[in-house]
Amino acid sequence: MSRVNQLEPESATGRAKTLLDAVKSKLGLVPNMTRAMANAPAVLDGYLQFSGALTKGTLSAKLREQLALAISQANGCEYCLAAHSTIGRMVGLTADQIRDSRLGTTVDPKADTLIRFARKVVDTRGRVSDGDLAEVREAGFDDGMIAEVVAHVALNVFTNYFNELAETDIDFPKAEDLHVSQTAAE
């Protein structure tokens, strides 16, 4: 049971209702995470604006979901793993791509570089080495792409921490077990 109240969209008022209605009109449903964030409309609004802004970046929907899966796995957020596994399938990720992303890798060399870099940003709390930056740049990514990856890390760390603290009720199909220990994959 969630430790943070998940507002019912029908009974929400004011800015919270406006935001929840916007979520429903866009997604066709109101996920429990956004219902919990609506307790502080500024939080939900900030999340929606930040998330929306990043969809206008250069990363594809598939790569954004792969990053979200890698970051959520690193932080152990079951809610986000369930949500991003579902969304990942919706944008065309295969079961293997979802599993690999959660393990912090992928068979596509360019995507692999970004996913591994994002995991390093998470693991080092942003204190990546000059070599880590050089590796991303050598793979053909510029400072703009590096900035986008860091922004996706920040967005996903926010939702991971929020859902872990709230113990948000999972309203997506649970993510599948990896069947491989995370340390074995690293």
Q: Does residue 29 share a domain with residue 85?
A: no
Residue numbers of the domain that contains 176: 61-185
* pLDDT > 90: percent of the chain: 92
Count of helix runs (H) and strand runs (E) in the chain: 10, 0
The confidence band for 178, taking pLDDT boundaries of 50, 70 and 90, is: confident
The half-sphere exposure of 121 on its side-chain side, counting CA atoms within 13 A, is 25
Same-domain check for residues 73 and 98: yes
131 and 112: one domain?
Answer: yes
Quick check: 138 pLDDT over 50?
yes
Q: pLDDT category, 37, cuts 50, 70, 90?
A: very high
Instruction: Give pTM, 2 decimals.
Output: 0.92
> What is the distance between the alpha carbons of residues 120 and 118, in angstroms, rounded to a whole number?
5
- In-domain check, residue 3: no
For residues 167 and 96, membership in a common domain is answered with yes
Among 170, 115, 160, residue whose Cα is nearest residue 139: 115
Q: Domain containing 144 — which CATH number?
A: 1.20.1290.10
